[in-house]
Structure 1
Amino acid sequence: MFEFPVLVGDIGGTNARFALVEKKGAEPRLLAHEATADHPDPSSAIRAALAEDGDRSAPPRSAILAIAGRVDGPEIRLTNAHWTIAGERIAGDFGLSTAVVVNDYVPVAAGAAGIEPHDLTPVGHCPRVPGGARVVLGPGTGFGAAALIPYSAHLAIVSTEAGHTELGPVDAFEEKVWHALERVADRITVEAVLSGPGLARLHAAVAHVRTGQPHDKIDPAAVTEAGLNASDPHAAEALALFARLLGRVCGDLALTFLATSGVYIGGGIAPRIVKVLEESGFRAAFERKAPFAAMMKGIPTSVITVHDPAFNGLAALASEGEKFVYHGQVWRKPA
């Protein structure tokens, strides 16, 4: 499907990371991290990344790019940036034979198929169970999720918009927090609370509930730091609530896809709060799924700790494309 070298890219609203897979089965070699705001379009960022590489390798012959957005047409506008991405245009700009654009959690799911134990930090003590479906998800700038499902001799990757599903309170404290939470488009969704901006919303709402006074939002990184070092009790409580809500949503997605081979948590937040996940009731919330609590106890949950997990998945899609079935925007040079 892909001619080598293959350019792979992980493109978000803030940064675009590019690498080269020089031959089938090779590890991706990082080219550059480019800020999206520094470039008028993706081709400009790709040129800059290739220029940094100089003459170390042959120019790419094909590309597969993962974007933080819904891939639903020939041109995709990034949700949190000004770029419009079209595989055909990028292929023309660089003389490529193939250009594929996928949702950013498609390669994370592909990477989960062969992820090594040393790239995971388990949360709870459940042994890995091979052969079943898996779910990958991640709270970061937003909330992404996908499932990896065995289908005959293939692995089907199902992208989702789970971040835009509704989320509600389950006890009296959460109900008070929900009344104080900032809405997004008049909704409280998974992404509205389980993301960087969502952590800031939770902190402001928890402080409001505990003090009786409205509280301004602060930077999510500041919430995390203050919660971890116990300098702000409201931040610590917000982090614990974040972890319980994440456990609940992980459990819901595990049930949705019967992910008996595990739930893998990526994104930028989870690796920083592993201790909170272990101590806050994450697993209890994950397992509290009557009448299937016994089944849930046997499903492992882990945090992905490898850096740039999308690159390994993109390399797998490039080298082992016949193994995976997935949705994406595909352009190929006419014969």
Structure 2
Amino acid sequence: MVAFPVLVGDIGGTNARFALVEEKGAAPRLLSHEATVDHPDPSSAVRASLAKDTTGGRPPRSAILAVAARVDGPRVQLTNAHWVIEGERIGRDFGLESAVVVNDYVPVAAGAAGIAPDDLTPVGPCPKEQPGGARLVLGPGTGFGAAALVPYADRLAIVSTEAGHTDLGPSSEAEAAFWGAIERVEGRVTVETLLSGPGLARLHQAVASLRTGRPPEKLDPAAVTERGLSGEDPHASEALDHFATLLGRVCGDLALTFLATGGVYIGGGIAPRILPVLGKGGFRRAFEAKAPFAAMMEAVPTSVITVQDPAFNGLAALASESDRFVYHGQVWRAG
């Protein structure tokens, strides 16, 4: 059982977002967004966020924190930031009864169990989700996260993954042409190397280098997106097209891995901004090109999660419906 109010947090490589779930079944109430670079540790960010709550409500009695890292011990190092998250330290710092730390895509998967149609934008055809099928959630942002929501008897098992750190290679002549110019990360080209904010910038550099024969101007991901969508920079537009195709391929691979006939839900900060590119067709063609299972893939719906802070609804579900979900995480309890 979780003691309310519950402090919930979605801690990524760039920002940490905090909210309060004040009672069982209540919607999360946003406290603040805190930049990770502005705080030496997560307790500092939590303290700053709670200080911004002017409602005079009760302080939290427990916490559920989702972090952009693998949760495999009492100390969790963020993959793309300097923070180390320890449930025990946060629990003791704020006098909590319990603190749970999970991978950041665990609550996104939990939220997919009851996500509203209004919070989704379909990409491609809209076949009906198959009842009882697994669902896949994933997202390119500062990094790349993915998890599956798998029915297990009368419960839902959440399987978090490190799919972003699997290898990725070219599968067409167009991709092979620029692949050699891609900036490697620790000698590798992984899913996250390209399907992330920094990955979009790497794609632009590789494409521009191929087309011009010289080192290109270095752009940040936001500039690549803006220039690509406007047509101002043809290399940025091409990079976005390749990004959409690669994302479709990886989504399809993971959908096959988990037999996600219940649907694929794309979160993260990038996909909602490039919906016109995802809708052009390259994403869905790559998603379905999975012979001999192309027919099965055609029947799997793909959607972008367009609600802001989608992890919060999932964190609230984990707090209020704890008996419904089975998942891995770090749990600390006082005493």
TM-score interval (norm. to shorter): over 0.9
1:79-98 correspondence to structure 2 within 5 Å: 79-98=79-98
TM-fit CA distance, 1:212: 2.2
Partner secondary structure for residue 81 of structure 1: coil
Distance 2:203 2:13 in 1: 23
Distance 2:214 2:38 in 1: 40
Deviations 1:11-44 (A, max 9, x none): 1122111100000000000111112222222112
Distance 1:287 1:13 in 2: 31
Q: What's the counterpart of residue 250 of structure 1?
A: 251
1:14-29 correspondence to structure 2 within 5 Å: 14-29=14-29
Q: What's the counterpart of residue 57 of structure 1?
A: 57
Distance 2:37 2:200 in 1: 24
Of all paired residues, the percent bearing the same amino acid is 75
TM-fit CA distance, 1:82: 2.3
Distance 2:58 2:281 in 1: 50
Q: What's the counterpart of residue 67 of structure 1?
A: 67
Distance 1:297 1:5 in 2: 43
Q: What's the counterpart of residue 329 of structure 2?
A: 328
TM-fit CA distance, 1:55: 4.9
Partner secondary structure for residue 9 of structure 2: strand
Q: What's the counterpart of residue 211 of structure 2?
A: 210
Distance 2:222 2:309 in 1: 19
TM-fit CA distance, 1:209: 1.4
2:284 is the alignment partner of 1:283: yes
Which amino acid letter does the alignment assign opposite residue 165 of structure 2?
A: H
TM-fit CA distance, 1:266: 0.4
User: Is the CA contact (8 Å cut-off) linking 2:42 and 2:83 kept in structure 1?
Assistant: yes
1:1-335 correspondence to structure 2 within 5 Å: 1-129=1-129, 130-334=131-335
Structure 1 stretch displaced more, 125-134 or 180-189: 125-134
User: Is the CA contact (8 Å cut-off) linking 1:126 and 1:297 kept in structure 2?
Assistant: no
Which amino acid letter does the alignment assign opposite residue 36 of structure 2?
A: T
Partner secondary structure for residue 80 of structure 2: coil
TM-score, normalization by structure 2: 0.98
User: Is the CA contact (8 Å cut-off) linking 2:170 and 2:179 kept in structure 1?
Assistant: yes
Partner secondary structure for residue 180 of structure 1: coil
Give the number of equivalent residue pairs.
Answer: 334
Structure 1 stretch displaced more, 139-148 or 37-46: 37-46
Structure 1 stretch displaced more, 35-44 or 247-256: 35-44
TM-fit CA distance, 1:126: 2.4
Distance 2:250 2:14 in 1: 26
Structure 1 stretch displaced more, 79-88 or 298-307: 79-88
Partner secondary structure for residue 150 of structure 2: strand
Deviations 1:227-254 (A, max 9, x none): 1000111111110010000000000000
Distance 1:262 1:218 in 2: 34
TM-score, normalization by structure 1: 0.98
5+ residue gaps in structure 1? Answer: none
Partner secondary structure for residue 148 of structure 1: strand
User: Is the CA contact (8 Å cut-off) linking 1:204 and 1:216 kept in structure 2?
Assistant: yes
Partner secondary structure for residue 102 of structure 1: strand
Deviations 1:276-325 (A, max 9, x none): 00104111100000000000000000000000001000000000011000
User: Is the CA contact (8 Å cut-off) linking 1:240 and 1:280 kept in structure 2?
Assistant: no
Which amino acid letter does the alignment assign opposite residue 111 of structure 1?
A: G
Distance 1:120 1:30 in 2: 21
Which amino acid letter does the alignment assign opposite residue 170 of structure 1?
A: S
Distance 1:182 1:16 in 2: 28
Partner secondary structure for residue 128 of structure 1: coil
RMSD: 1.0
User: Is the CA contact (8 Å cut-off) linking 1:206 and 1:234 kept in structure 2?
Assistant: yes
